[in-house]
Structure 1
Amino acid sequence: MALKSLKKQRRIQVIALAAVALVVSTALIGYAMRDGINFFRSPSQVVEEPPQPNEVFRIGGLVEEGSLVRGDGETIRFNVTDGGAVVPVTYTGVLPDLFEENQGMVGTGRYVDGVFVAQEILARHDETYMPKEVVDALKEQGVYQEPGS
């Protein structure tokens, strides 16, 4: 009788230990990913509810025509728009080859003093591709046109 009780107690301990390990590993994964999850915002959303300067997020839209200015050194300035709002962007680095005005882009960075300071810029990679979030934001503002139209 004592042997069955000991096995049952050991099984309960193993299950409890596995549950604790699961909770701890889930918490560690969440903690590790906290900086890796960047929320997407359209220019209209950024203007309506400006994020905190320390929040890293993604912005996407079209590069506004006539706004691309290459400054001193590697700093580039341009505006990104979804047709409803315009957000100025600064980026220091080399732009992707396909980056140009009136084309889709997604940037990762922070919104500081009314300017999106980009750490990374991505451009569309072929004639028909644009990130889903950018397409949705442009459709919401009524400025998206299907490729080839």
Structure 2
Amino acid sequence: MTRKAKRLTSIGVILLVIGAAAGLVLTALSDSVAFFNSPSDIVAKAPASSQRIRLGGLVEEGSVVRGGSQKVSFRVTDTIESVPVTYTGLLPDLFREGQGVVTEGTLGPDNVFVADTVLAKHDENYMPKEVVDDLKARGLWEEGKGMVKSDPQPAPVQTESGASS
């Protein structure tokens, strides 16, 4: 074998080893990837029960129910849809109703999200950008203040004469 053939063989073997290593790394990482979903995404198209996902939104007011042995159930909402969540474990100190939350886990066959990780967020800087943008577009989120209560009174309707009713 000539010197040039040996060099080409060595380069080919090195490229093959690097390719195999990259393939193994990508295969290992694909099992731990969790895609972000809002409650509206989950209601519109439920993911497979074996697929790990992240569910982000706001903890719905009045939905937190604490059970025995650190079991908690609550609902995550994007103000359009909401998804029930169950979690067993200690909740973060910042977890409360009306605050942003990101949960990670799987969707059960009964469409209840079973979370194994709960991350509480204290302002829009830590909430998923998609959720904050959606809330801001609907006037439910103010910069620096977070979630704002919507006015229960409907806005006055202008009549043809220009007077409001």
List alignment gaps of at least 5 residues for structure 1: none
Aligned length: 142
CA–CA distance in structure 2, aligned partners of residues 145 and 7 of structure 1: 70
| Map of 2:54 onto structure 1 | 58
The residue matched to 1:102 in structure 2 has which SS?
coil
Match of 1:11 in 2: 7
Output the CA distance in 2 between the equivalents of 1:40 and 1:127.
18
Task: Give, in whole Å, the separation in 2 of the partners of 1:28 and 1:106.
Answer: 29
Contact 1:109 1:118 in 2 (8 A): yes
Matched, 1:140 2:134: yes
Give the conservation status (yes or no) of the 8 Å contact 1:83–1:138: no
Partner Cα distance (1:35, 1:144) in 2? 35
Percent same amino acid at aligned positions? 38
Deviation of 1:140 (Å):
2.7
Report 1 or 2 for greater relative contact order, CA contacts < 8 Å, sequence distance ≥ 6: 1
1:137 Cα shift?
A: 2.5
Name the counterpart of 2:105. Answer: 109
> As a proportion of its length, which structure holds more helix?
1
RMSD: 1.7
The correspondence for 1:84, drawn from 44, 67, 80, is 80
Q: SS of 1:13's equivalent?
A: helix
Distance 1:23 1:10 in 2: 20
1:17-56 superposed matches below 5 A:
17-56=13-52
Deviations 1:104-139 (A, max 9, x none): 010010011110000000011x455323x2x31242
Counterpart of 1:120 in 2: which secondary structure? strand
Deviation at 1:6, TM superposition (A): 1.0
The question of whether the paired residues in 1 share the 8 Å contact of 2:102 and 2:119 is answered with yes
TM-score, normalised via structure 1 length: 0.88
AA aligned to 1:65 is: E
**What secondary structure is seen at the aligned counterpart in 2 of 1:136?**
helix
